[in-house]
């Protein structure tokens, strides 16, 4: 597990290991962010680009953390799950939110 700001900045602000190095070594499963929650989407997109697999990148902020803390009702799109999701597009490799849904209902 690594912080989203570390990945976006390209390294740790305190000299610790860089998240992208762990990703390139296949040692990164979960991205978190306690102080910049908006960084989660950007970091997931960055990982998707590093790995050449956007679904895998997105799973680091959805499915993997939900499984790690045993929240079995969320984290992936599947019948019977919460159906919380967002729609986004990339503009110059930066994600732009296009719509949020909570429990299958559009909320904005």
Phi, psi of 87 (to 5 degrees): -110, 135
pTM, whole model, 2 decimals? 0.88
State the residue range of the domain holding 22: 2-106
| Measured distance CA(42)–CA(92) in Å, rounded | 12
Number of H helices, E strands in the chain: 5, 5
- Residue 107: band (very low, low, confident or very high) from pLDDT cuts 50, 70, 90: very high
| Measured distance CA(85)–CA(62) in Å, rounded | 10
- pLDDT tens sequence across 58-106: 999 999 999 999 999 999 989 999 989 999 999 999 999 999 999 989 9
Q: Where are the beta strands (DSSP E) in 1-108?
A: 2-3, 31-32, 85-91, 94-102, 105-106
Domain count, the chain: 1
- Residue 34: band (very low, low, confident or very high) from pLDDT cuts 50, 70, 90: confident
Query: 7 vs 19, 50, 56, 90, CA distance in Å?
Result: 5, 11, 15, 18
């Amino acid at each position: 597990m690594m912080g989203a700001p570390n990945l976006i900045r390209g390294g740790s602000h305190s000299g610790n290991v860089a998240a992208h190095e762990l990703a390139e070594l296949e040692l990164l499963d979960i991205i978190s962010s306690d102080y910049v929650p908006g960084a989660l989407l950007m970091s997931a997109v960055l990982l998707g680009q590093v790995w050449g697999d956007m679904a895998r990148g997105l799973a680091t902020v959805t499915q993997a953390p939900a499984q790690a803390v045993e929240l079995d009702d969320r984290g992936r799109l599947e019948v019977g799950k919460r159906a919380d999701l967002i729609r986004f597009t990339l503009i110059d490799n930066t994600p732009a939110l296009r719509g949020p849904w909570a429990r299958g209902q559009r909320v904005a």
